[in-house]
Amino acid sequence: MSSKVKRRNVLPGFGLSLGFTLIYLSLIVLIPLSAAFIKTAGMSWADFVTAVSSPRVLASYRLSFGVSLIAALINAFFGLILAWVLVRYTFPGRRVVDALVDLPFALPTAVAGIALTAIYSKNGWAGQWLEPLWARGIHQLTVLVPAVDWENWLGGKLAFDRPGIFLALTFVGLPFVVRTLQPVLADLEPELEEAAATLGANRWQTMTRVILPELMPALITGFALAFARALGEYGSVVFIAGNMPQHSEITPLLIITKLEQYDYRGATAIAVVMLVASFVLLLLINLLQKWSRRYYRI
């Protein structure tokens, strides 16, 4: 008779659990973040624009987003290899290696920063060999392509320059990629590869047509997590970055700088820009992930 049939969910308690989710999310995430927006709302539009678009701040956005992106891409590549090895092969000490992956999660980031600086600075035990190599590499690049100011772009030193930021961000981001990929890889049966081989696929085809499509969503998620983590990282970077204005200052450092000057609003203004930009990027990455899942469906 009536077409109005109440649609019932298979699982009961949807209303309750959604309510719980929203309250929890509000308490833990939304309310603290909205404080930043409220504090910023006290500024005039002109003040806001000045605060978030001075040359020094703009340079820091470029640096923060740029280096975070590169670090996350490198982590996505090497994290995939690491996860693959940890899941697919058994070898002595595998458990130890597996546990090591989590260390960057647990280590206080300031300790990580100090440790990395001690190792890579020019009298550190790796830095004393690597820094001259790096400097020579930069010199070679400058000879080959003189049009680009390589030393400015890539940094002339390892520690206390841009490469240091990259090292720190790669360090903190690695576990995210590995830990997201591991369960997916474990679920991926080797039989799939065997089937591909019996159907005449060569190794490259198996990799690009069978394995990678299955892994793509998890890989993108891992990449997004590593990227987001790198964007917000402060503790380890300040020790190794050198913090030169308009060259190696990350955005979180500028926020702290504003706070040191009792400019609470200026600080939250930059924070708001970071928040919005990160949110948009993460949203885009999520969409990309969704799209990749559909696109690669076998």
Q: Which of 260, 294, 297, 298 binds other proteins (CB under 8 A)?
A: 260
Verify binding: residue 190, other proteins, rule CB under 8 A: no
- Listed in sequence order, the residues at least 6 apart from 150 whose beta carbon sits closer than 8 Å to its beta carbon are 138, 141, 142
Q: Whole-angstrom Cα distance, residue 37 to residue 34?
A: 5
> Which tokens hold the place of 38?
């409220």
Verify binding: residue 262, other proteins, rule CB under 8 A: yes
138, 151 Cβ separation under 8 angstroms: yes
Please say which residue, 56 or 209, places its beta carbon nearer to other proteins: 56
Smallest distance, Å, CB 85 to other proteins? 35
Verify binding: residue 200, other proteins, rule CB under 8 A: no
The enclosing H or E element of 45 equals: helix 45-53
Verify binding: residue 61, other proteins, rule CB under 8 A: no
Cα distances (Å, whole numbers) of residue 60 to 126, 207, 254? 28, 38, 8
Q: Going residue by residue from 146 to 165, which x/- string records binding to other proteins, judged by CB under 8 A?
A: -----------x-xx-----
Please say which residue, 80 or 254, places its beta carbon nearer to other proteins: 254
Nearest to 64 by CA among 168, 192, 220: 168
Verify binding: residue 44, other proteins, rule CB under 8 A: no
Verify binding: residue 117, other proteins, rule CB under 8 A: yes
Question: Which residue matches tokens 């990455």?
Answer: 285
Please say which residue, 127 or 222, places its beta carbon nearer to other proteins: 127
Nearest to 278 by CA among 68, 105, 125: 68
Verify binding: residue 208, other proteins, rule CB under 8 A: no
Smallest distance, Å, CB 241 to other proteins? 9
The stretch near other proteins (CB under 8 A) out of 2-10, 27-35, 93-101, 235-243 is 235-243
Verify binding: residue 266, other proteins, rule CB under 8 A: yes
Please say which residue, 140 or 246, places its beta carbon nearer to other proteins: 246
Nearest to 83 by CA among 67, 71, 94: 94
265, 40 Cβ separation under 8 angstroms: yes
Q: Which of 111, 207, 259, 283 binds other proteins (CB under 8 A)?
A: 259
Q: Whole-angstrom Cα distance, residue 85 to residue 182?
A: 10
Residues that bind other proteins (CB under 8 A): 54-56, 117-118, 121-124, 157, 159-160, 238-239, 242-246, 253, 256-257, 259-263, 266
